[in-house]
Structure 1
């Protein structure tokens, strides 16, 4: 008997429709995931606001193995019923980037150049179930999955990928460690993840910035372990960092804001001589009248960061599984599948400007 499920398909700009979908037959190297919960992120919102082809959004996916082929079971080390967290990438596994551990940059994972990725693949690409806003999701032979303990609360499990970005950028790339001063520009999901990861790495001082509109998020940052907050609507970041550090300035600064180019410039100013500045957010605009000499004079290292690695996802899984941190307070809204439009609008800030992690639970 054919098995079916429900999915929220993005059919037009700011519009999803609940449709019945047919589950594909499972081959020896594929599987089907029963989706437990999905985190909503800015990428989902950007697609939702600019739907070009019908697709199922959602890529911060946690679920249980519903069906799995024999080869897939051996390759991933999982069985039916196992709880897993998905990476969004579906890499080729053969190119130089994949072979050197940078599979997140594999062209096959880029939907803008005909690649496929969970949460960003049109339903025209069979078997169509490539998104988490659905009761079931297709497990591609090249999917990247991680086992997750059953005791982790669902809303915390949905934080795995954002946290993995934090560990990738703070620990693996930024090399934050004991005694370091870390400045994080932006108290959104990624910024809070970076704060958690920096403290877990042993950073002595973590400073997170935000605006008047982010007052509640800045309070939350302190509860999650940040040492100081700076309201850049009324305070000068460079002066505050100099005051807090007694003139040392920051070893590591990351910009994860969407607030134009000003945060990039203030990040460079807040970094110490010989420091590192990471750029982790698209700006979609050019710099005007920017004095490049600050990079030269301070001998700064500037690096763009994007996505996570297998190692950083494992670090996030272990961090969440420890149960030592109050991660549940990061979840502000959890919606049903029928409320997917509401979830996306909430994540976009249309419903609640102080929203944090927004999730969808397809079986509620």
Structure 2
């Protein structure tokens, strides 16, 4: 009879510091299971976790864009989940309670149980000290909690590309399901990162007549704007070389945008410009977190122009399913967003690449824990 087994995991032990550790795989009980991780995507939010959570919560395994094969599952889990051992699945990061009003209405991403800031559990943001510890995708095996949300990966889709499901689903959620992008519309997207590019793909798929994406003059944004055109954007604007409002007015014949999606993180100026870019009765989607107040915010403009302004948080089950369909058909060449795969030993390099301190030309990166 064999004893407990251990697997390798990249553990964020302190701010900006990762160690490869051997972690014991927990035994599966009736309502849980384990996933043999095939690959895990590197999300922009991982950098924020890397800089904050190890300090506030102790060591943890990052990574929440996880794709892998169901390895073991208990009898109750098999009945509840509708998956079987060997199935290739993509996980959501959320671990909702399943019974609150948000869960019952389909908005489980708003469930308090999914918010680590309120003490909830979440894949890729739960401390190693919380049993059984294997909560993140930067490991060879991941624990499957009873409330895991699964998506079957369509046949023929490689795990590396399936890992695009969550970032692409954000674009579908923001641009299409919440933003209402559709035929005949002009959509302006501020910021050419993963979320901005995903929004461009979603807007094109929804039939938008004109998709415009903006960025800066640095080399990273130049590459991303070039990729945006490959993904179907009609126009790209370097806002350090061209006046943003004047350029959009010229492109649209003065009509401006039906939908503006702010995916830029950091500075608050993009919120102000988003309000200025939207036409009367337009919609503004705020997705890029600023982590600071907006000085002298002109709320009267929202009233005067009859704008709809929405804050976005994550994705829905439906948007992830739609994302997997787009990936399966490689619609709009979406798999081109997947640019780099790293080994588990290179986890820190992948994380630093999120902020331009690693490899060049990275868009969506993945970590293969078995290399």
Using the TM superposition, give the Cα deviation of residue 126 of structure 1 relative to its aligned residue in structure 2, in angstroms: 0.4
1:282 to 280, 289, 294: 289
SS at structure 2 position matched to 1:302: strand
1:29 to 26, 31, 50: 31
CA distance in 1, matches of 2:149, 2:134: 16
1:171 aligned to 2:171? no
**1:72 corresponds to which residue?**
77
* Consecutive unaligned residues in structure 2, runs of 5 or more: none
Question: How do residues 341-352 of structure 1 correspond to structure 2 at under 5 angstroms?
Answer: 341-352=348-359
Kindly provide the CA deviation profile for residues 219-275 of structure 1, in whole angstroms up to 9, marking residues without a partner as x.
Answer: 000000111001111112211111111112111001011141111111111101000
1:332 to 339, 343, 347: 339
Question: How do residues 312-323 of structure 1 correspond to structure 2 at under 5 angstroms?
Answer: 312-323=319-330
Q: Which moved more, 1:350-359 or 1:89-98?
A: 350-359
2:61 to 56, 71, 78: 56
CA distance in 2, matches of 1:239, 1:267: 13
CA distance in 1, matches of 2:296, 2:28: 57
1:17 to 16, 19, 23: 19
Question: How do residues 81-120 of structure 1 correspond to structure 2 at under 5 angstroms?
Answer: 81-120=86-125
CA distance in 2, matches of 1:315, 1:149: 11
2:141 to 133, 136, 141: 136
Q: Which moved more, 1:345-354 or 1:144-153?
A: 345-354
**2:9 corresponds to which residue?**
7
Any conservation in 1 of the 2:12–2:59 contact (CA below 8 Å)?
Answer: yes
CA distance in 2, matches of 1:250, 1:74: 48
CA distance in 1, matches of 2:143, 2:62: 13
**2:262 corresponds to which residue?**
255
Any conservation in 1 of the 2:9–2:20 contact (CA below 8 Å)?
Answer: yes
Any conservation in 2 of the 1:83–1:150 contact (CA below 8 Å)?
Answer: no
* Consecutive unaligned residues in structure 1, runs of 5 or more: none
CA distance in 1, matches of 2:5, 2:31: 19
Say what the alpha-carbon RMSD is for the aligned residues: 1.2
CA distance in 1, matches of 2:266, 2:238: 14
CA distance in 2, matches of 1:291, 1:309: 31
Runs of 4+ in 1 over 6 A off after TM superposition: none
Question: How do residues 120-131 of structure 1 correspond to structure 2 at under 5 angstroms?
Answer: 120-131=125-136
Any conservation in 1 of the 2:34–2:73 contact (CA below 8 Å)?
Answer: yes
Using the TM superposition, give the Cα deviation of residue 309 of structure 1 relative to its aligned residue in structure 2, in angstroms: 0.7
Using the TM superposition, give the Cα deviation of residue 327 of structure 1 relative to its aligned residue in structure 2, in angstroms: 2.5
Using the TM superposition, give the Cα deviation of residue 353 of structure 1 relative to its aligned residue in structure 2, in angstroms: 5.6
CA distance in 2, matches of 1:258, 1:61: 24
Q: How many correspondences in the alignment?
A: 364
CA distance in 2, matches of 1:339, 1:352: 11
**2:239 corresponds to which residue?**
232
**2:153 corresponds to which residue?**
148
Using the TM superposition, give the Cα deviation of residue 72 of structure 1 relative to its aligned residue in structure 2, in angstroms: 1.5
CA distance in 1, matches of 2:83, 2:298: 53
CA distance in 2, matches of 1:355, 1:222: 16
Q: TM-score under structure 1 normalisation? A: 0.97
1:363 aligned to 2:370? yes
CA distance in 1, matches of 2:356, 2:7: 30
**1:195 corresponds to which residue?**
200
**1:160 corresponds to which residue?**
165
**1:42 corresponds to which residue?**
44
CA distance in 2, matches of 1:238, 1:47: 34
Using the TM superposition, give the Cα deviation of residue 30 of structure 1 relative to its aligned residue in structure 2, in angstroms: 1.1
Using the TM superposition, give the Cα deviation of residue 70 of structure 1 relative to its aligned residue in structure 2, in angstroms: 2.2
Kindly provide the CA deviation profile for residues 319-351 of structure 1, in whole angstroms up to 9, marking residues without a partner as x.
Answer: 111234423321222100111111111122212
